[in-house]
Amino acid sequence: MEDVQSRHDAREIPLEQVGVSELRYPITVLDREADRQQTIATVELSVNLPHHFKGTHMSRFIEVLEAHRGEVTMFTMPALVEDLRERLEAERARVCMRFTYFVERAAPASGARSLLDVEARFIGESGESGDELFELGVRTPVTSLCPCSKAISDYGAHNQRGFVDIACTFTPDAQGERQMIWIEELIEIAERSASAPIYALLKREDERHVTMQAYDNPVFVEDMARAAAVALRADARVASYRISAENDESIHNHKAFARTSWRRP
């Protein structure tokens, strides 16, 4: 059978990314408390395509993914990306996996235990020159209470569900090994930047606690982005970050947002 993809292409248009997306796949990720956590990723795999090839062999993306079925972490990602790059005979390869991640937590007053879900993602890239990238991203739901509404009202203050999305890359340690930051650590930074954390299960005494905690800690969406930025700059393991904070405004039918990024000099 003819290999149509390998035909010569004369248009001289290189393609930065060719691949597959919106592929669902079960993966196992590292869990600070439980060692391992099984979840389901939405996967995007791609390589660059030099201008003289007509097409990529798309089935090879799935073959490489199948060959690496199992644990996906910042330590296993480089091998997966490198295998993609070699198997597809490309100069650069990229993997992005988005997945739901659960952390177990105790309610602040009753101690009642429940799970919080965040949306996390790993991005891995690799090029011929040996340069590679690993980025961890976590989108954490939080409660935010408006400082302006509190300051100008005789009582009450509007509040809402917000999200703090943090993506960061890491510096190598003294031995040149890339350092690890847990998903749980980014969740903690996000929650400390907000008015109060969010819980699936709150008994009455807990609801009282978080209601007053939020009222005592009003933050704008700008404050959430900045507080997370301050925490990440202070952590020497962080090489760069991109932060996006947003509020599903309770008094509007739109969102308010703030975004900031930084690279350690």
- 112-141 positions binding its own copies, by CB under 8 A: 112-117, 141
For the segment 224-243, give every residue that binds its own copies (CB under 8 A).
225-227, 229-230
What span, in angstroms and rounded, lies between the C-alpha atoms of 143 and 239?
28
Radius of gyration for the alpha carbons in the chain, expressed in angstroms and rounded: 22
The least CB distance from residue 128 to its own copies, in Å, is 19
Burial degree of 245 (CB within 10 A; 0-12, 13-18, 19+): buried
Orientation angle between helical segments 58-67 and 77-87, nearest 10 degrees: 150
Q: Which of these, 133, 113, 139, 119, lies nearest to 33 by C-alpha position?
A: 113
The least CB distance from residue 172 to its own copies, in Å, is 25
211 binds its own copies (CB under 8 A): yes
Read off the amino acid at residue 28. T
93 binds its own copies (CB under 8 A): no
227's tokens: 């507080």
What span, in angstroms and rounded, lies between the C-alpha atoms of 238 and 261?
12
Q: Which C-beta is closer to its own copies: that of 180 or that of 256?
A: 256
The least CB distance from residue 177 to its own copies, in Å, is 29
200's tokens: 């699936």
The least CB distance from residue 60 to its own copies, in Å, is 9
147 binds its own copies (CB under 8 A): yes
What span, in angstroms and rounded, lies between the C-alpha atoms of 264 and 94?
23
What span, in angstroms and rounded, lies between the C-alpha atoms of 156 and 174?
51
What is the DSSP code (8-state) at residue 256?
E
The least CB distance from residue 178 to its own copies, in Å, is 26
For the segment 13-32, give every residue that binds its own copies (CB under 8 A).
13-26
87 binds its own copies (CB under 8 A): no
What span, in angstroms and rounded, lies between the C-alpha atoms of 196 and 141?
10
Q: Which C-beta is closer to its own copies: that of 24 or that of 131?
A: 24
Q: Which C-beta is closer to its own copies: that of 110 or that of 179?
A: 110
Q: Interface with its own copies by CB under 8 A: which range of 72-80, 82-90, 157-165, 178-186? A: 157-165
234's tokens: 């202070």
259 binds its own copies (CB under 8 A): yes
32's tokens: 């600070």
The least CB distance from residue 136 to its own copies, in Å, is 20
For the segment 159-188, give every residue that binds its own copies (CB under 8 A).
159-161
80 binds its own copies (CB under 8 A): no
Answer for which of 55, 132, 179, 192 binds its own copies (CB under 8 A) is: 55
